[in-house]
Chain A
C-alpha cells in the first residue's frame, strides 16, 4: 500500500522541489542547476513517449468499430488509413530510410511524401478549421450582445466601438478611443485576472507538491 499510495506522492514532492530550489540559484551552482536541467530534457522525452499511448487507444477503439461494423465504421477506416500512411512515411523519413532526406523537402525543392501530406492534407485542413472562427465569432456576437443588464450592455458597447474603430469608416471617430479601451480598461481587467490566477495556480502547485491535491493520479482518497 505504501508503494502504491505514498511513493507517487513522494516522487511528486521531490520532482517539484528540484526546479523550485534551482530557480533561486545562479548558473554557477551546478550541483543544484544540473538536476533541474536534466529533468527538463527528460520530461520532453517522456512527453514524446506518451504520444504512442494515445495512438494505441485510437487504434484499439477504431479497430473495434470496424470489427463490429458499427455505424460509420467506414470513417474509422479512413482515420486509420490516414494515420498509417502519414505515420509510416514520417517514420521512414525520420530514420532516413529508403533514400529519404528527412521529413522536409528534397534538396531540389520537391516535397518528400511526408512533406506532401503536411502541405496538402494537414495544413489546409488545419487552416480551414481555424478559419471557421470568422463565422462563429459573428454568430456568437449576434446572440450574446443584447442589452439585458448593465454588464451585458457594457460588453456590447465595448465590442461594437472597437469593431468600428478598426475599419476605415469608423476609424476617424473611434480609432483613438479603441486604442485607449484596449490599453487602459482592458489592460486593468487583464492585470486583475492575471494576478488572481497566478496566485490560484501557485496555490494549486503547493497543494500538488504537498500531496493534498491528487485527483490527477486517481488517488482521491480524501483525508
Chain B
C-alpha cells in the first residue's frame, strides 16, 4: 500500500498538465461563478461613476496590449458597460505602444455592439493611439487636439460633437487608465498631481503591489487589481444593471469571472498536487524505514 502511494512521487507530469488545461478551459466554456467579495478600492470607482449622469465625461485610456488582455480587457469592458448604462460619455484613447490601439478598438467594438442606441461621436469617441507617453499626456490634459488632431479615422476633433463639449482631459469627471506597465502611474503622478483630475487605475495582478502605494497616497481614487478586481467590478455592474446580464451570459464573451474561476481551480489543483506529493514522500520514507 505504502509502496503504491510512494509511486505517486514520480507521477508523469503530463497528468498535471492535463488537469491544468482542463481547469483553465472548462470555466471558459462552462462558467462556475465562484462568489467574490467586493473590496473597497474597486467599490470606490464604481461608487464615483454612480454619481455621474448624462452629460458627464469619463476618459478611458488603454495603456495595455493584447498580451495582458486576459486580465485587462474585462476591466475596460466593465467600465464601458457601466458608463454606457448610465448614459455617461466616454472618450477612449490608447497610450501603450505594443498593441494599445488593437485593444482599444476591439473593446469598443465589443461593448458598443451591446448598446445599439449609442451614436459614435455623440456618446463616445475613439481617439486612437499616440506615442510620446508623458509628453502626450501633458498636452491632452489642456487640449485633446494638441495630442490628437483627429480621431482614429482622422476626422478633425472640431467636427465631432462630443469633442466640442470638452476641450481638455482636465474638464472630465474622471480618468480611468487600464494599464499593464508604468503608464497608469503617470496618470497618477502627472495628471492627478498637476491637474487635480480624479484618476482610477486597473492593473495586472503582477503590478498591483506597486500601485497600492499610489492608492494609499490618495493619488488615485480606486484600483482594480488583476482578475480578482475585474471580477468584482463585473459583479457590481451585473447587479446594478440587469440589462447587462444578457451580455455577460454570452458564452463567447471573455469575462473576469470566468478567468477567476480558472484561477481558483488551478491554484487548488497545484495545492492538491503538493499535498499528494508530500503524502507520497512520507509513504516512501516509512517504506524505507520498515525495510
Contact = CB atoms under 8 A, between A and B. Distances in A.
A/B touching: CB–CB < 8 A: yes
Interface of A: 107, 123, 127, 130, 134-135, 137-139, 141-143, 145-148, 156, 159-160, 163-164, 166-169, 171-172, 182-183
Contacts, number: 79
Interface of B: 13, 16-17, 20-21, 24, 34-37, 66-67, 99, 154, 205, 209, 228, 260, 263-264, 266-271, 273-274, 276-278, 281-282
Contacts of B228: 166, 168
B267 A182 contact: no
Nearest to B8: A142
Contacts of B269: 138
Contacts of A171: 37
Contacts of A145: 274, 277-278
A168 B270 contact: no
Contact of A139 (B17, B268, B276): B17
Nearest to A141: B270
A30 B263 CA distance: 54
Contact of B20 (A107, A134, A167): A134
B37 A168 contact: yes
Given A107-B154, A147-B278, A167-B267, A138 B273 contact: yes
Contact of A169 (B21, B24, B264): B264
Most chain A CB within 10 A, of B67, B228, B271, B274, is at: B274
A156 B274 contact: yes
Contacts of B20: 134-135, 138
Contacts of B266: 134, 138
Given A127-B67, A134-B20, A142 B37 contact: no
A166 B20 CA distance: 17
A142 B267 contact: no
Contacts of A166: 205, 228, 263, 267
B277 A143 contact: yes
A57 to B, nearest CB: 28
A163 B273 contact: no
A168 B267 contact: no
B35 A168 contact: yes
A138 B272 CA distance: 10
Contacts of B154: 107
